[in-house]
Structure 1
Amino acid sequence: MFSRAQVRRALQWVPGKERLGVYRFLPFFFVLGGTMEWIMIKVRVGQETFYDVYRRKASERQYHKAGRSIGD
């Protein structure tokens, strides 16, 4: 792995330290989040994307919740 000194040295290369401080990393995380979101929407694993699975599971939960309340 990397030592603490190596990580610190690498972080010094990111510009904007005096003007922005720790917020100089914000654009990197914004791009990383956007990339992750794009992958979850567009990349298929097998036949489904992340959101296909999410919608199906939410629908199943709603169906089971409604079924239990009707049967009580």
Structure 2
Amino acid sequence: MRVYSKTLKEFLDAWPGKKRFGIYRFLPLFFLLGASLEFSMINWHVGEVNFYRTYKRRQARKIAEEILASREST
């Protein structure tokens, strides 16, 4: 593993569980980062829009276009 920052290397080496878990000792950290990202995508609004409203709108538009395309082809 190449670490170019001495401070970062010291921080990573100080993280507990190196001998027992190896690289997997960082999994709880990544789990918490993923959960916080998911929470922010749900709860942070830009105006009246957040990520999930935009996603649901795109999915609804896609389904409606598929239904219209199947009706036109028959």
| Identical counterparts, % of pairs | 36
TM-score between the two structures when normalised by the length of structure 1 = 0.88
SS at match of 1:4: coil
Structure 2 alignment gaps of length 5 or more? none
RMSD: 1.3
Structure 1 alignment gaps of length 5 or more? none
Residue type at the aligned position of 1:49: N
Q: Distance in 2 between matches of 1:5 and 1:67?
A: 57
Ranges of 4+ aligned residues in structure 1 off by more than 4 Å: none
Instruction: Provide the residue aligned with 1:12 in structure 2.
Output: 13
Q: Distance in 2 between matches of 1:19 and 1:71?
A: 62
How many residues are matched? 70
- How far off its partner does 1:19 sit? 1.2
SS at match of 2:14: coil
TM-score between the two structures when normalised by the length of structure 2 = 0.85
